[in-house]
Amino acid sequence: MNIQQNISLKSYNTFGISVYAKRFISVTSVYELQQLLKIEKDVFLISGGSNMLLTKDIEKLVVHIDIKGISVDQENNDAVYITVNAGENWHEFVLWCVSENYGGLENLSLIPGNVGTCPIQNIGAYGAEVKDTITKVETLNIETGKMVEFSNVACKFGYRNSIFKNDVKGKYIITSVSFQLTKNTHDLNSSYGAIESELASKKIKNPTLRDISEAVIAIRKSKLPDPKEIGNSGSFFKNPIITKTQFLELQKEYPNIPSYIISDTKIKVSAGWLIEQSGFKGKRFGEYGVHEKQALVLVNYGNATGKEIFLLAEKIQTTILTKFGISLEIEVNVFEK
């Protein structure tokens, strides 16, 4: 087992924060992971590093999940069943599906990170959520070293949420994810406003999977910073869900507040809009700030510390609470506050 000492994690997290792992190991198979857990269980896991803010050096053994491999388990005229190991890059997998004409993930193009972490926060974008294609999630129980399978229902998926963020947090390591995707006949989802206008601008009336994927890539590139150029972790906060009563009060003062009905009594409002209204959009404080095109995204211009970004997040939360009476919940995992 090749445990390395004092490794910078800058290239292992999309925020590009430079903290150090005292000890670091990359594992490339489930067997290797099982052997490692026999020796050490209290480990710090890192995969694509796309949904984390690191604020200090990591004392625990950092285990980089680098288990690769994609297999087609079964297929018929309508569907294909695929199992993908945790260390595969998410976007490369989506592009492969599009090239094979397997449908269901095209709206989730260009999301940073690896396949193994997609169920944890139930990644979603442009009218699609990954939960609608996942059949099961294979995991390793850290305590027993045994494989445990979670069915789609057992994952308890919700908006940017799953059992892996709650009841069983820190207890299992996801080793692979299985998907059911469409073949031949696809249920295309192009109703999201920005996709419709992107397709219309290219005069596409009957889009293919590739057209949708390319439209999503174009929209994301126009709004979201590329982590290779500007460090970031996508949406830093969740869109808050408030009561209808509170929403109607706010709407009197802010008639343009973007909103989505969740139920008869609950309304989701746009955190990006709230942050923009509070004057933070595009604000730069030295090495860090709020992205100029999407206020939900906090950015590292190069040499920010995780602490600085966390303090900015707290400042935004306090401002939103005072101005709108709404608590913004951080979506990104912060280590350690």
Could you give the residue numbers annotated as active site?
A: 160, 235, 331
CA distances from residue 108 to 4, 26, 215, 245, 335 in whole angstroms, order as listed: 34, 27, 11, 33, 26
CB of 237 to ligand EPU, least distance (A): 6
CB of 294 to ligand EPU, least distance (A): 5
CB of 276 to ligand EPU, least distance (A): 4
Nearer to ligand EPU, 131 or 281 (CB): 281
Q: How far apart are CA 30 and CA 103, in angstroms?
A: 28
CB of 235 to ligand EPU, least distance (A): 3
Nearer to ligand EPU, 234 or 306 (CB): 234
Site for ligand EPU, rule CB under 6 A = 125-126, 223-224, 234-235, 238-239, 258, 270, 272-273, 276, 281, 294-296, 331
Nearer to ligand EPU, 26 or 107 (CB): 107
- Nearest residue to ligand EPU, using CB? 234
CB of 254 to ligand EPU, least distance (A): 11
Nearer to ligand EPU, 176 or 278 (CB): 278
Q: Are strands 43-46 and 58-65 parallel, antiparallel or unpaired?
A: parallel
Asked if 239 and 266 touch (Cβ cutoff 8 Å), the reply is no
